[in-house]
């Protein structure tokens, strides 16, 4: 005698089908966008390219700020071989606050020999202030903060910016995050793929400009 095949009710099969579908979707999602780490790496790559387009080593890019001071965008640029420099301006007084970062170090013995704010002049006086040096000379004052392999400096005219403002800006200087770097560094302009051709250069002869004029010209 042939036994009839038993069919499971639909309600019993439904949970099994849902479970299988859910596990399959979790394994791969082609429509998902790039992960956060990939996006961050792309952002960092763009910011590094911006710094390098200026001739600046990306690790020497810093940012700071002070109440009432605004970044002068045209001041952002290279210092020395691959250092970084930028200036913030007070719209109320016109005072300038200059941030500079360059390779090197600063010690008690060498501090007096280094000019303040890269301005040559009279001998520099140095005073230790925590992890930083407070330095004066040539009508300017500066806070210099030694870092690993480089020094972060914030300087200004001595009679234009108070010492406490200078100190806060120097100790608050830091490596920028993505949004700060995007606002700080100009966009890297791509180099032209081919030389620009002049319309007055003939294709024959020595290529000198054609300055001939028409009759009567």
**C-beta atoms surrounding 56 within 10 Å:** 23
Question: Over its length of 217 residues, how does the chain's per-residue pLDDT go in tens digits?
Answer: 444 444 444 434 344 444 444 444 444 454 444 445 555 655 788 899 999 999 999 999 999 999 999 999 999 999 999 999 999 999 999 999 999 999 999 999 999 999 896 556 567 999 999 999 999 998 999 999 999 999 999 999 999 999 999 999 999 999 999 999 999 999 876 545 555 555 555 555 555 555 565 555 5
Coil, helix or strand at residue 64: coil
**pLDDT for 43:** 79
Q: Beta strand pairing status for 69-79 and 83-90?
A: antiparallel
Contact (CB, 8 A) for 155 and 142: yes
Q: How far apart are CA 79 and CA 102, in angstroms?
A: 7
Q: Copy the structure tokens of residue 191.
A: 């180099």
Q: Could you please report the per-residue DSSP string of 175-213?
A: ---HHHHHHHSPPPPPPPSSPPPPTTS-SSTT-------
């Amino acid at each position: 005698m042939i036994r009839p095949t038993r069919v499971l009710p639909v309600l019993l099969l439904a949970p099994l089908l849902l479970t299988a579908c859910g596990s399959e979707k979790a394994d791969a999602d082609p429509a998902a966008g790039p992960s956060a780490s990939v996006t961050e790496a792309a952002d960092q790559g763009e910011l590094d390219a911006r710094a390098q387009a200026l001739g600046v080593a990306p690790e020497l890019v810093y940012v700071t700020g002070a109440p009432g001071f605004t970044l002068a965008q045209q001041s952002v640029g290279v210092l020395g071989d691959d250092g970084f420099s930028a200036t913030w301006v007070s719209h109320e007084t016109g005072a300038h606050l200059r941030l500079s970062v360059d390779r090197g170090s600063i010690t008690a013995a060498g501090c007096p020999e280094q000019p303040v704010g890269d301005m040559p002049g009279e001998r520099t006086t140095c005073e230790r202030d925590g992890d930083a040096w407070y330095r004066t000379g040539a009508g300017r004052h500066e806070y210099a903060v030694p870092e690993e392999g480089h020094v972060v400096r914030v300087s200004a005219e001595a009679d234009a910016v108070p010492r406490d403002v200078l100190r806060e800006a120097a100790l608050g200087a830091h490596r920028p995050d993505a949004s700060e770097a995007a606002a700080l560094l100009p966009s890297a302009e791509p180099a032209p793929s081919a030389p620009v051709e002049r319309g007055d250069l003939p294709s024959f002869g020595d290529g000198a400009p054609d300055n001939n004029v028409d009759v009567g010209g």
